[in-house]
């Protein structure tokens, strides 16, 4: 496709959610959204990539209709000055730049089209916000790592203390010759289950911290790329704003309504991204680091030993008492089930919905498309 450089010198504004339709040389109606606009030109993102086949630089488009919230205004005709179909860091882009035959002001359309932030002002503000976000998130990531260490310390200290109590009760049962009593055994079961419950609770919290760290690192990587390229997603307003969108807007009714003007749901992986995620090894790319491996190994060991102690008490001393058997069996099932759930969370962090590829796609789509503030 022939491409001509965009030579607009007027101030560019970026109106939000402004739809546009026009007719190509074949008389077909094409639809899209306005990316930015000036007195003599507009940049349009198309909804359908197939429309580009009949849109050539230098050709005329007519019957340009711009609308929002049920209000429509006709700005007549224009000439295509640039056509693009490329894959940027943020998304797949296809659209065109149109030089208007008549200026926006001469058609009384300034109140609709020339609204929103000026592009240069937005980029300058976003650069300052990004620098602040990187400093804040770097400290936040360090805080999350420290939380994981504290959780490990909590699990170790309490588990060792409770294990000492368990062995003390077992020794007293041996001395008092009531070790095989079902009620005494059940009390030992409750004590031995405590380290398991503490460790699996800490394991879930550590997993949540790992997910948060992954989410933060994906966001930071995007910001670093933006600063290098001196270009930011249009709707980026800072970490606080974007994280609220993910928590309160993403995958809600607000998000579903937005599908009317978007090509696809935010967070939808491209074919290439899906293939990369599928081909990733569970323990490679990136490799498991010693820090996280040690934390999970210790927590899993504590939980497993606790489950073994409960199982021993169950089958040795409680088989003759139904209520104790049911209680001890339930405790064992809970410990095993939660350990399996933690394993599931680890899988999601490596290859699932909390992986760096998926989180990066969600952040990029939210910052590119979502203008709604929670």
| pLDDT, tens digit (0-9, with 9 covering 90-100), for 328-345 | 889 889 999 999 999 898
What pTM, to 2 d.p., does this model score? 0.77
Q: Tell me: pLDDT of 52 over 90.
A: no
Residue 49 sits in a domain of what CATH number? Answer: 2.40.10.220
* Closest to 92 measured CA to CA, from 365, 371, 373, 290: 365
Residue 215 token pair: 């989410």
Residue 325, in any domain of the structure: yes
**Residue that finishes a domain, picked among 82, 115, 148:** 115
| Whole-number Å distance between alpha carbons of 132 and 130 | 5
Query: 74 has which bridge partners?
Result: 65
Residue 293, in any domain of the structure: yes
* Closest to 12 measured CA to CA, from 35, 37, 44: 37
Query: Do residues 38 and 157 share a domain?
Result: no
Q: Cβ(198)–Cβ(204) under 8 Å?
A: no
Query: Do residues 88 and 127 share a domain?
Result: no
Q: Tell me: pLDDT of 3 over 50.
A: no
Query: Do residues 198 and 318 share a domain?
Result: yes
CA 241, chain centre distance (Å): 13
Please count the other Cβ atoms lying within 10 Å of the Cβ belonging to residue 247.
10
Residue 5, in any domain of the structure: no
Query: Do residues 86 and 195 share a domain?
Result: no
Q: Cβ(20)–Cβ(37) under 8 Å?
A: no
Q: Which DSSP symbol is given to 293?
A: H
Least confident of 61-65, 88-92, 249-253, 281-285: 88-92
DSSP E strands in 131-260: the ranges are none
**Residue that finishes a domain, picked among 115, 137, 156:** 115
Q: Which DSSP symbol is given to 45?
A: E
Looking at residues 213-217, what average pLDDT do you find? Answer: 93
**Residue that finishes a domain, picked among 70, 87, 115:** 115
Please count the other Cβ atoms lying within 10 Å of the Cβ belonging to residue 254.
14
Q: Tell me: pLDDT of 325 over 90.
A: no
Upstream peptide bond of 99 is cis (omega within 30 degrees of 0): no
Residue 7, in any domain of the structure: no
Query: Do residues 96 and 174 share a domain?
Result: no
Looking at residues 122-141, what average pLDDT do you find? Answer: 93
Residue 345 token pair: 């969370």
pLDDT band per the 50, 70, 90 thresholds, residue 5: very low
Query: Do residues 214 and 317 share a domain?
Result: yes
Query: Do residues 111 and 177 share a domain?
Result: no
Range of the domain at 271: 123-369
Residue 262 token pair: 């978007």
Residue 2, in any domain of the structure: no
Long-range contact list for 174-181, CB < 8 A, 24+ apart?
179/317, 180/316, 180/317, 181/317
| Whole-number Å distance between alpha carbons of 138 and 149 | 17
pLDDT band per the 50, 70, 90 thresholds, residue 282: confident
Least confident of 8-22, 24-38, 83-97: 83-97
Query: Do residues 205 and 279 share a domain?
Result: yes
Predicted pLDDT at 59: 87
Q: Are strands 19-23 and 60-68 parallel, antiparallel or unpaired?
A: antiparallel
End-to-end alpha carbon distance in the chain = 41
Residue 285, in any domain of the structure: yes
Query: Do residues 310 and 225 share a domain?
Result: yes
Q: What is the DSSP string of 240-252?
A: HHHHHHHHHTTTS
Residue 89, in any domain of the structure: yes
Query: Do residues 70 and 131 share a domain?
Result: no
Residue 1, in any domain of the structure: no
Query: Do residues 129 and 217 share a domain?
Result: yes
Q: What total number of domains does the chain contain?
A: 2
Least confident of 46-55, 155-164, 235-244: 46-55
Query: Do residues 154 and 75 share a domain?
Result: no
């Amino acid at each position: 496709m022939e491409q001509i450089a965009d030579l607009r010198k007027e101030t560019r504004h970026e109106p939000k959610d402004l739809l546009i339709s026009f007719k190509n040389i074949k008389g077909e109606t094409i639809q899209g959204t306005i990316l930015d606009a000036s007195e003599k030109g507009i940049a349009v993102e198309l909804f359908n990539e197939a429309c580009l086949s009949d849109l050539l630089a230098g050709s005329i488009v007519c019957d340009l209709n711009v609308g929002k919230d049920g209000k429509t205004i006709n700005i007549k005709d224009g000439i295509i000055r640039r056509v693009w179909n490329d894959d940027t860091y943020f998304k797949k882009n296809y659209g065109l730049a149109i030089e208007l035959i008549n200026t926006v002001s001469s058609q009384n359309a300034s109140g609709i089209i020339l609204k929103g932030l000026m592009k240069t002002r937005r980029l300058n503000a976003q650069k300052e916000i990004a620098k602040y976000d990187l400093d804040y998130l770097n400290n936040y990531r360090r805080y999350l790592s420290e939380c994981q260490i504290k959780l490990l310390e909590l699990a170790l200290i309490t588990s060792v203390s409770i294990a000492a109590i368990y062995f003390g009760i077992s020794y007293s049962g041996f001395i008092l010759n009531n070790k095989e009593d079902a009620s005494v055994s059940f009390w030992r079961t409750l004590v031995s289950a405590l380290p398991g419950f503490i460790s699996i609770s800490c394991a879930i919290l550590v997993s949540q911290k790992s997910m948060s760290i992954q989410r933060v690192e994906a966001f930071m990587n995007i910001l670093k790329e933006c600063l290098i390229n001196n270009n930011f997603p249009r709707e980026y307003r800072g970490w606080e704003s974007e994280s609220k969108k993910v928590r309160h807007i993403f995958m809600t009714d607000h998000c579903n309504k937005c599908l009317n003007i978007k090509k696809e749901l935010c967070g939808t992986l491209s074919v290439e991204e899906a293939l990369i995620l599928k081909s990733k090894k569970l323990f490679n790319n990136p490799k498991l680091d010693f820090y996280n491996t040690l934390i999970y190994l210790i927590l899993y060991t504590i939980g497993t030993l606790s489950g073994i102690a409960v199982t021993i008490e169950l089958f040795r001393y409680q088989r003759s008492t139904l209520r104790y058997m049911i209680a001890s069996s339930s405790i064992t099932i809970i410990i095993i089930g939660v350990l399996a759930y933690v394993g599931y969370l680890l899988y999601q962090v490596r290859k699932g919905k909390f992986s760096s590829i998926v989180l990066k796609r969600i952040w990029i789509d939210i910052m590119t498309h979502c203008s709604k503030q929670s």
